[in-house]
Amino acid sequence: MSTRDESDEAYVVDLCNQALGETAFTQHKFDWLLGDPGTGGRRVKLPVDAYWPGHQLVVEYRELQHDQAMPHFDKPDRLTVSGVHRGEQRALYDARRDVQIPAHGLRLVVIRPADLDADSRGRLRRNREADLAALRAILVRDSDEHRVTDSFRTWLLAQGWTPVTPMDRWTDIEAVRGKERLICEAKGRTSEKGIDADIAYGQLLRRMTSEAPNMRYALVVPSSSVKAVERVPRYVRRLLRIDVYEVTDDNQVRHLSA
CA atoms within 13 Å, Cβ hemisphere of 6:
3
DSSP assignment letter at 44: P
If you average pLDDT over residues 115-129, what whole number do you get?
92
Domain 4-126: assigned CATH number: 3.40.960
Class of domain 146-256: alpha beta
pLDDT digits (tens, 9 = 90+) for 124-134: 999 999 999 99
Nearest to 133 by CA among 3, 6, 15: 15
Which amino acid is present at 40? G
Residue 84: per-residue pLDDT: 66
CB 67 within 8 A of CB 56: no
pLDDT digits (tens, 9 = 90+) for 156-180: 999 999 988 888 877 889 999 999 9
Residue 86: per-residue pLDDT: 74
Q: Which residue did the predictor score with more confidence, 146 or 106?
A: 106
Q: How many CB atoms lie within 10 A of CB 245?
A: 21
Residue 70: per-residue pLDDT: 57
Do the strands 173-177 and 25-34 form a parallel or antiparallel pair, or are they unpaired?
A: unpaired
Q: In the structure, what pLDDT confidence band is assigned to residue 149 with cuts at 50, 70 and 90?
A: confident
Domain boundaries, the chain: 4-126, 146-256
Return d(Cα 115, Cα 67) in angstroms, integer: 14
Model confidence at 2: pLDDT above 70: no
CB 200 within 8 A of CB 173: no
Nearest to 176 by CA among 168, 185, 166: 166
